[in-house]
A = this chain, B = another copy of it.
Amino acid sequence: MVAPLGSELVARVLITGAAGMLGRKLVARLTDADELVLHDIVQSTPPARVKARSVASDLSAPGEAEKLVAGRPQLIFHLAAIVSGEAEADVDKGYRVNLDGTRRLFEALRAVGDGYKPRVVFASSIAVFGAPFPEAIGDEFLCAPLTSYGTQKAIGELLLADYSRRGFFDGIGLRLPTICVRPGKPNLAASGFFSGIIREPLAGREARLPVPKTVRHWFASPRAAIGFFLHAAHLDTASLGARRNLTMPGISATVGEQIEALRRVAGDAAVKRIREEPDPVIQRIVEGWPRNFDARRASALGFHADGSFDEIIRSHIEDELTPRPA
């Protein structure tokens, strides 16, 4: 369902946050771009098949965004961000990178002028929403974030919509569900267990479950997320009107449903590696998070969620645990 990239229309592509988990997966799909610039605060290493130039710099530092857009990329994926936990722990860094970095990029695009109007795909997050919630959050529900990260993403959305309305660029913001199964090592993010209880047992390791099995949350696989980005790159934005930010479709599942899916895909032995270890702090944080959405607009525009939580687990096994021919 994903349109192939690489027509002449998107010959020049810029990705910020290219060294991150989603950034690397997205880069691996951009094999057809004539000119691909990978930006991150650290050097990114493109996969062998991908022609790319890597730039390491601080997007929030004066002048850096201007350098990045000097080549007039026709398509920009703006993924760079300080993650939720760090933005909460370090107020200055979170606002500098997530707000100022985004604003400097948008301003640099505007400053080019001369009819330049690239497509900008912005990675937003369901963290723009905060409790209390209706049973399913619709496309007209308010953004009342309960974290600085969510605040910064919500501000990025507003800037994106205004700059698009004014014709400075052609933007679309994607509110990503919680990405699950996140590959790699367990981290300290409060949401880490949602992936950990699948990833760790599949790898033969124990996982801790800090919340009751009744906790419900909203998920997309890395594969679905990359599909969102690629679809957004080519979407006809005329149908968006002024509302440029879309809640992406996802899978709403309880922890209990996650575990039953794991049992169906990998058997009882895997499920036995999950150890319940209630953590009141994490429970309280998770209570403020969205459980379910009615992502009608994005679905109507052709964004596709994973088919089921079982499929999320199977895509993790295929993409992360299956050896690939060299």
Contacts and interface: CB of A to CB of B under 8 A. Distances in A.
Contact of A151 (B139, B142, B145, B159): B159
A81 interface: no
Indicate the size class of the contact surface on chain A: 20 to 34
A143 B165 contact: no
Interface string A151-170: 10011001101100110000
**Considering residues A162, A166, A242, A243, which has the most beta carbons from chain B within 10 angstroms of its beta carbon?**
A162
Contacts of A243: 144
Interface in A143-195: 143-146, 148, 151, 154-155, 158-159, 161-162, 165-166
A141 B140 contact: yes
B166 A143 contact: no
B144 A142 contact: no
Interface in A54-91: 91
A20 interface: no
B144 A151 contact: no
A130 interface: yes
Interface string A213-243: 0000000000000000000000000000011
A146 B158 CA distance: 10
A142 B145 contact: no
Given A91-B166, A140-B141, A166-B91, A242 B161 contact: no
Contacts of A165: 146
B144 A154 contact: no
Contact of A158 (B91, B151, B166): B151
B242 A144 contact: yes
A34 to B, nearest CB: 32
Contacts of A143: 142-143, 158
Nearest to A144: B243
A110 B148 CA distance: 14
B142 A141 contact: yes
A162 B158 contact: no
Contacts of A130: 242
Given A130-B242, A155-B155, A242-B130, A162 B145 contact: yes
A288 to B, nearest CB: 9
Contacts of A145: 158, 161-162
Contacts of A146: 165, 242
A243 B141 CA distance: 13
Contacts of A161: 144-145, 151
Interface string A102-119: 000000001000000000
Contacts of A142: 139-143
9 contacts: A140-B142, A141-B142, A142-B143, A143-B143, A144-B242, A145-B161, A146-B165, A151-B159, A154-B158
